[in-house]
Amino acid sequence: MSDKCRICGEQVQYLPSHLKRHKTTIVEYGKNYPQWVSFTTAPIDFRMTPNQLLEAVKLNLVKSKDPPNADNTETVNKLVITEDIAKNYQRIKKLPKFSIEEIERREIYLNRKREEMMQRLSFYCPRCKENVAPPMDSLILQLAMKRKMTLEEACENSKISHYRHVHTDYESEIINFEEKVEASYFEEVRLKHIKYNHESLEAFKDTIKYTKQKTKIKTRYSEEAKRLIQENFIPQKDKQETKKPFEENKSGKQETK
């Protein structure tokens, strides 16, 4: 939108923020002070996506025109009228945020990112004797991709998770536990004549009492996993260090002290 505020005539950096001073919104302003604005900046000012505005133009919800002296007719260089954007604001905001092409491109991008992250979180498991990567649907993978977990934490957790699931009795214990919970659910159904259905079973399983116990099991096996990792990984580190004669000497001296 233009840098000049049509209410006070001031040159402003970012109109939507400036308008708070006049206790008005960009939508109200657009309606009351219609003007032709660039297709490129309008979505930013009106807090919508370029695709929503493009769809609105296609649906004739928003009038558009080519800029004067335009030598091409690319949509992005078009001008759009703020009055229409303001008038049809609610409808435009409901239009698809992204085009199919944009969604596909994003999908491809995310898949590549996911594969990269899986690669970075993979490690050589001395017990499996092969490289292990976190599963595609792993929560750790998601958290690492969203940067809600550092790469270091994610690597550590991915190791623990693999060990817990594959090299401890965690999974069988969880299955046993769930069977017990289900048994007590059916007990209650029978005794209290509760109507049995899938939802009530899920709700029963989700009660704090059981989720807490499940967390306890997980914590216990995570501890076991950490212990196994230490056993498996630290000796290997030592072996690597003994390859360097200097390191060996140093540690040998320290031990004799």
Site of interaction with Zn ion (CB under 5 A): 5, 7-8, 125, 127-128, 166
Closest CA to 77 of 115, 30, 37: 37
User: What's the min distance (Å) between Cβ of 63 and Zn ion?
Assistant: 25
CB 27 within 8 A of CB 75: no
CA distances from 34 to 29, 54, 103 (A): 8, 19, 32
Q: Which is nearer to Zn ion, 17 or 219 (CB)?
A: 17
User: What's the min distance (Å) between Cβ of 41 and Zn ion?
Assistant: 18
Q: Which is nearer to Zn ion, 7 or 189 (CB)?
A: 7
Sign of CA dihedral 227, 228, 231, 236: negative
- Position of minimal CB gap to Zn ion: 5
User: What's the min distance (Å) between Cβ of 21 and Zn ion?
Assistant: 6
Overall residue count recorded for the chain in this entry: 257
Q: Which is nearer to Zn ion, 26 or 53 (CB)?
A: 26
User: What's the min distance (Å) between Cβ of 163 and Zn ion?
Assistant: 7
CB 78 within 8 A of CB 64: yes
User: What's the min distance (Å) between Cβ of 236 and Zn ion?
Assistant: 14
Q: Which is nearer to Zn ion, 101 or 130 (CB)?
A: 130
Closest CA to 75 of 44, 60, 54, 59: 54
Q: Which is nearer to Zn ion, 51 or 161 (CB)?
A: 161
